[in-house]
């Protein structure tokens, strides 16, 4: 038998390759406006939906989902809210569909969908709000470069024992997408989250004037980012460089909450500490995917809704920045 020679260095395909839209599985619906944008190199911003279904109470969840979409539009990009509706993946949703998702989630009928839930939720025909990890998967699949996922998960406090580390972090190693978030929440162990991102090889950049790594409600967590960028073209160039190198990795752009909300940070931080303590005492901290929604709800209660106001502000801010980066990325490809 003749020996077949093989090139020494085979190019390994990226783990998630952007598929041509016409070859996507039949249960993925890319909204016509989003399809058109992707075909014409018009910037698109993907938006997560767990924040609507599990992260915020009504009616703020619906109002925020819609305002974030209009902010993205106002900055020159097309919004694509991602969710699962009766087993169909929606990449881009009209208002009635978002309203329907909010209604179903009020009745508790919506699954919080991380990577491991994707197959079951689709195959079983369920409704799902996509976390960062699942949103990254579908954004990458459709070829969207910038999702706004203002609520990235991380290593939970005590994670060194419980191993409660959000699937969001690992997803950034296999989806070549820029993720804009206001840092990570102080309900998490921020130091270990940053260590873990370093281990995974995920670039972390503060999107702002200093290299302070933000902690959602507060512009500084006490930790530093390895880099800071302050303009969308620089951010887009980082994503583009990784793409030219065929790197399967995304990047985290951490955008500090706007200054008008800095004053509220101390009170919210105190509530976070109390909520984390309570979750350890009542055992919620050992209940897997329920931990994050429970802590968010409790912090909301303890601050009399104050944390929610800050949350909306920082999400709207990330929407603006995400759209600007998406526009800059599209310009690089011209």
Residues catalogued as catalytic = 48, 185
**CB–CB of 239/165 below 8 Å?**
no
Tell me which residue has its CB nearest to ligand PSU: 55
Q: Which is nearer to Mn ion, 8 or 163 (CB)?
A: 163
- B/e letters for 148-163, b = 16+ CB within 10 Å, e = fewer, are bbbbbbbbbbbbeeee
Grouping H, G, I as helix, E, B as strand and the rest as coil, residue 206 is: strand
The C-alpha atoms of residue 236 and residue 243 are separated, in whole angstroms, by 10
The distance of closest approach from Cβ of residue 153 to ligand PSU in the complex, given in angstroms and rounded to an integer, is 3
Q: Which is nearer to ligand PSU, 225 or 292 (CB)?
A: 292
Among 48, 69, 117, 171, binds ligand PSU (CB under 6 A): 48
Among 37, 91, 132, 275, binds ligand PSU (CB under 6 A): 132
**CB–CB of 249/242 below 8 Å?**
yes
Q: Which residues contact 273 (CB under 8 A, 6 or more apart)?
A: none
Among 131, 146, 218, 249, binds ligand PSU (CB under 6 A): 131
How many residues bind ligand PSU (CB under 6 A)? The answer is: 17
The distance of closest approach from Cβ of residue 7 to ligand PSU in the complex, given in angstroms and rounded to an integer, is 40
List, as one string, the DSSP characters of 164-191.
Answer: -B-HHHHHTTT---EEEESB--TTB-HH
Task: Return the one option of ligand PSU, Mn ion, none that residue 296 interacts with (CB less than 5 to 8 A, by type).
Answer: ligand PSU
Q: Which residues contact 68 (CB under 8 A, 6 or more apart)?
A: 47, 79, 148, 315, 316, 319
Please state the separation of Cα 41 from the chain's center in Å: 22
Tell me which residue has its CB nearest to Mn ion: 164
**CB–CB of 232/277 below 8 Å?**
no
Task: Return the one option of ligand PSU, Mn ion, none that residue 66 interacts with (CB less than 5 to 8 A, by type).
Answer: none
What are residue 82's DSSP bridge partners? 91
Q: Which residues contact 25 (CB under 8 A, 6 or more apart)?
A: none
The residue range among 13-21, 34-42, 49-57, 170-178 that interacts with ligand PSU, by the rule CB under 6 A, is 49-57
Which residues within the stretch 145-164 sit at the binding site for Mn ion (CB under 5 A)?
A: 164
What are residue 213's DSSP bridge partners? none
Among 16, 31, 44, 50, binds ligand PSU (CB under 6 A): 50
Q: Rule CB under 6 A: is residue 307 a binding residue for ligand PSU?
A: no
Q: Rule CB under 6 A: is residue 127 a binding residue for ligand PSU?
A: no
The residue range among 51-59, 73-81, 202-210, 248-256 that interacts with ligand PSU, by the rule CB under 6 A, is 51-59
What are 190's two structure tokens? 């921020």
The residues that touch Mn ion, with contacts defined as CB under 5 A, are 164
The residues that touch ligand PSU, with contacts defined as CB under 6 A, are 48, 50-51, 54-55, 114, 131-132, 151, 153, 166-168, 185, 289, 292, 296
């Amino acid at each position: 038998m003749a020996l077949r020679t093989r090139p020494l260095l085979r190019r390994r395909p990226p783990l998630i390759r952007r598929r041509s839209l016409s070859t996507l599985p039949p249960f993925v619906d890319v909204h016509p406006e989003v399809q058109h944008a992707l075909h014409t190199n018009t910037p698109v911003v993907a938006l997560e939906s767990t924040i609507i279904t599990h992260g915020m109470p009504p009616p703020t969840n619906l109002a925020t989902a819609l305002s974030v979409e209009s902010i993205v539009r106002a900055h020159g990009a097309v919004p694509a809210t991602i969710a699962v509706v009766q087993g169909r993946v929606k990449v881009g949703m009209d208002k009635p569909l978002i309203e329907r998702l909010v209604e179903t989630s009020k009745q508790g009928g919506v699954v919080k969908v991380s990577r491991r839930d994707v197959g079951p939720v689709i195959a079983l025909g369920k409704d799902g709000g996509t976390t960062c990890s699942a949103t990254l998967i579908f954004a990458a699949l459709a070829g969207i470069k910038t999702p706004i996922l203002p609520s990235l998960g991380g290593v939970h406090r005590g994670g060194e024992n419980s191993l409660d580390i959000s699937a969001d972090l690992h997803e950034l190693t296999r989806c070549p997408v820029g993720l804009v978030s206001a840092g990570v929440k102080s309900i998490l162990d921020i130091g270990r989250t940053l260590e873990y991102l370093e281990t995974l090889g995920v670039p972390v950049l503060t999107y702002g004037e200093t290299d302070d790594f933000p902690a959602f409600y507060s512009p500084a967590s006490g930790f530093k980012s390895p880099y800071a960028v302050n303009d969308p073209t620089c951010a887009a160039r980082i994503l583009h460089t990784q793409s030219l190198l065929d790197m399967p990795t995304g990047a985290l752009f951490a955008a500090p909450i706007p200054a008008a909300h800095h004053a509220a940070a101390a009170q919210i931080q105190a509530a976070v500490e109390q909520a984390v303590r309570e979750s350890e005492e009542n055992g919620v901290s050992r209940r897997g995917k329920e931990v994050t929604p429970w802590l968010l709800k409790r912090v909301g209660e303890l601050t009399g809704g104050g944390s929610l106001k800050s949350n909306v502000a920082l999400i709207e801010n990330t929407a603006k920045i995400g759209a600007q980066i998406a526009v800059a990325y599209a310009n690089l490809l011209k």
